[in-house]
Structure 1
Amino acid sequence: MASNTNKEVLTDLSPLIKLYKDGTVERLLNSPHVPPSPVDPTAGVFSKDINISPVVQARLYLPKLADPHQKLPVLVYYHGGGFCVESAFSFLNHRYINILAAEAKALIISVEYRLAPEHPLPVAYEDSWSALQWVASHVIANTSIEKDPWLTEHGDFGKFYIGGDSAGGNIAHNILVRAGTEPLPGDVKILGGFLSHPHFWGSKPIGLEGKEDIEESLLCRIWLFVYPSVHGGIDNPMVNPFADNAPSLSGLGCSRLLVCLAEKDLLTERGIHYVDSVKKSGWNGEVQMVVVEGEDHCFHFFDPHTEKAKNLIKLLASFVSQ
């Protein structure tokens, strides 16, 4: 931190990230990396790190098994952080996914996609899709991928889920859009997806958003920072599912959808509009929404031990374990 005191700042997106003119990146909101656990003493969850490809990694979580041949639901998870901070290997993510894996009794693949600005969007989307393809490939008998024994021995691909928080919720939405038109290896189907406090934005105010200048907001500035070549700016369908040229939400590639929001979160108005739009789109699936009163963005991630956080994590776990 001190070494950056005298450097000239090119882009200041405090409290998230700073980019200096010499190319140095300072991630302000970033928890330290921690190693995987042979077994988490409180949650009773095993974890390990794997290489999915030369550029994409993941941390796998396996809860204690009732018997050696037990099959578990499979969840591919995408972390939050505005596409530019945090990690599948960070303390906050490791703690959160340990709790979720134990509660859901699910095998979780937490994807380490590459971050902007070193790797601007759409890299994170492509990494996330590649990880999903790799996981699905475990159902194919003859495949060139190096299979992971946890997935081959304990993954129930009839209960295949994806999910994410904040930017990860945005990624999960875009993965569901793509999965609606592009089959996964082995014709694996995504049973359900959860979008927790999803990162959506756009130039037209929704609800109370008109109280501030949307195009000067931190959310807009972050999007243009992580995706500088984006066509359409904050009305690109990747961040604005309601844009005129956005694909129809009727094509979402899953059967069940859960959207989790928080009353005080700036993103909640759009989250509610997203659920309403899905319902009106003609999508042939089951959608559920929860808005937690008195809480703000990703409260359950930053402090998973409060009563409301525990209840939300139980809801996510119940969704994945069905």
Structure 2
Amino acid sequence: MASTTTNVNAKQIVTEIPEWVRVFSDGTVERPRDFPIVPPTLHNSNTGVSSKDIAISNKPPKPISARIYLPNISNSQTEKLPIYVYFHGGGFFFESAFSKLYDVHLLKLVSEVKVMVVSVEYRLAPEHPLPAGYDDCWEALKWVASHSDSTKYLTQNTEPWLIHHGDFDRVFIGGDSAGANIVHNILAFRIGHQPLPGDVKILGAVLAHPYFYGSQPVGSEPVTGIEQNFYNLVWKLAYPSAAGGIDNPLINPLAPDAPSLAQLACSKIFICVAEKDGLCDRGVWYYEAVKKSGWQGQIQFFRQENEDHVYHLLQPALDQDSPNAYKLIKLIASFLVNN
């Protein structure tokens, strides 16, 4: 009779959010929803936009990189362009600045408006729990700002596109979902406590379908089952040591010990939500809270009916014809240039 041997070293799933992420006992992580990585292109044949990948920091434990996009401009053009520093979404645990999802979106955006984009690649949970991603994005933004006076702030890794074409009086930050959460936390926690190099200011911010949550339901959110709520599970995976859990000020901007929204460090904000998105009511809640806070900037709000979370990214990346996606891309483009 044949014997069987049990492999005691066979890896087991130790943490899972079904269909989204699996963490195994050997430390490996599967992310089934990731879009494929695509290369940058110099002078994209469809848009005329050029892109390249750059190293921001190679210092352990924080290798930070980005994909930078430049619109189709002539070699002799001296006009300075707005700079849009972008933080991708994905619940802090999946997706990439180099994926098809974000490359398609930013190529389209830059083809619509003459603006430079720096799309940041930051460390992901669970291998690198928060605040690693927050720290990386802040370091990337400081690196961008340091190009405002490259002779003073930079001794290496100077990026000529930023030096020759960047307008440091028109710096924007933006992101979707978790990336929009990062935008808020840079405005609320970082700028003001630590000025950017060159005293660069953030002119405006885009928060698309922002990932905020809390233990007290808002709008149509469920009133029971908070422990197994998807957004709570994501936060626990991304930041298991967060004081206060889902009511930590980094995920709940109206938590009792959160900084005042009146101090958001930019001049204008564009908040976008989608009707079918489970985060829609939180986005509306955030918008209303900023309006009531005493913040002195200009706020713009857009709600798209009959669409779900990050539709403006997913539909173009899946090669689906989407008038609503292109409408939002055009609204973002207009926000970035109409100062």
> So what's the TM-score if we normalise by structure 2?
0.91
Q: Give the Cα separation in 2 of the matches to 1:317 and 1:104.
A: 6
Q: Give the Cα separation in 1 of the matches to 2:28 and 2:214.
A: 29
Which position in structure 2 is the counterpart of 1:30? 34
Which position in structure 2 is the counterpart of 1:115? 124
Q: Give the Cα separation in 1 of the matches to 2:312 and 2:224.
A: 26
Which position in structure 2 is the counterpart of 1:205? 217
SS in 2 for 1:191: strand
**Once structures 1 and 2 are overlaid, which stretch shifts more, 193-202 or 64-73?**
64-73
Which position in structure 1 is the counterpart of 2:302? 290
Q: Give the Cα separation in 1 of the matches to 2:19 and 2:45.
A: 33
Number of residue-to-residue matches in the alignment = 317
Q: Give the Cα separation in 1 of the matches to 2:260 and 2:223.
A: 29
Q: Counterpart amino acid of 2:70?
A: L
Is the CA contact (8 Å cut-off) linking 2:274 and 2:307 kept in structure 1? yes
Shift of 1:124: 0.2
Q: Give the Cα separation in 1 of the matches to 2:281 and 2:309.
A: 12
SS in 1 for 2:145: helix
Q: 2:153 aligns with which of 122, 131, 143?
A: 143
Is the CA contact (8 Å cut-off) linking 1:134 and 1:145 kept in structure 2? no
The reply to whether residue 309 of structure 1 matches residue 325 of structure 2 is yes
Residues 80-130 of structure 1 deviation map (CA, whole Å, 9 limit, x = unaligned): 111011001111111111111111211000000011111110000000000
Q: Counterpart amino acid of 2:53?
A: D
Which position in structure 2 is the counterpart of 1:273? 285
| Structure whose alpha-carbon radius of gyration is higher | 2
Shift of 1:214: 2.4
The reply to whether residue 195 of structure 1 matches residue 195 of structure 2 is no
Any residues of structure 2 matched to 1:59-78 within 5 Å, and which? 59-65=67-73, 67-78=76-87
Q: Give the Cα separation in 2 of the matches to 1:71 and 1:220.
A: 43
Runs ≥4 residues deviating over 6 A: none
Q: 1:233 aligns with which of 245, 264, 273?
A: 245
SS in 2 for 1:114: coil
The reply to whether residue 184 of structure 1 matches residue 196 of structure 2 is yes
Q: Give the Cα separation in 1 of the matches to 2:136 and 2:324.
A: 32
Which position in structure 1 is the counterpart of 2:6? none
Shift of 1:212: 4.8
Which position in structure 1 is the counterpart of 2:44? 40
Is the CA contact (8 Å cut-off) linking 2:153 and 2:197 kept in structure 1? no
Say what the alpha-carbon RMSD is for the aligned residues: 1.2
Which position in structure 2 is the counterpart of 1:129? 138
SS in 1 for 2:222: helix
The reply to whether residue 87 of structure 1 matches residue 96 of structure 2 is yes
Q: Counterpart amino acid of 2:327?
A: N
Q: Give the Cα separation in 2 of the matches to 1:64 and 1:29.
A: 32
Shift of 1:321: 1.6
Is the CA contact (8 Å cut-off) linking 2:81 and 2:116 kept in structure 1? yes
Stretches of structure 2 that go unaligned for 5 or more consecutive residues are: 1-9
SS in 2 for 1:210: coil
SS in 2 for 1:261: strand
**Once structures 1 and 2 are overlaid, which stretch shifts more, 141-150 or 91-100?**
141-150
Which position in structure 1 is the counterpart of 2:168? 157
Q: 1:174 aligns with which of 162, 185, 192?
A: 185
Q: Give the Cα separation in 1 of the matches to 2:224 and 2:30.
A: 27
**Once structures 1 and 2 are overlaid, which stretch shifts more, 144-153 or 263-272?**
144-153
Q: 1:254 aligns with which of 266, 276, 280?
A: 266
CA shift in 2, pair 1:118/1:145, >3 Å: farther
SS in 2 for 1:208: coil
Is the CA contact (8 Å cut-off) linking 1:181 and 1:253 kept in structure 2? no
Which position in structure 2 is the counterpart of 1:14? 18
Q: Give the Cα separation in 2 of the matches to 1:290 and 1:68.
A: 34
Report sequence identity in percent.
51
Q: Give the Cα separation in 2 of the matches to 1:211 and 1:314.
A: 36
Q: Give the Cα separation in 1 of the matches to 2:184 and 2:254.
A: 13
Stretches of structure 1 that go unaligned for 5 or more consecutive residues are: 1-5
Which position in structure 1 is the counterpart of 2:7? none
Q: Give the Cα separation in 2 of the matches to 1:166 and 1:302.
A: 13
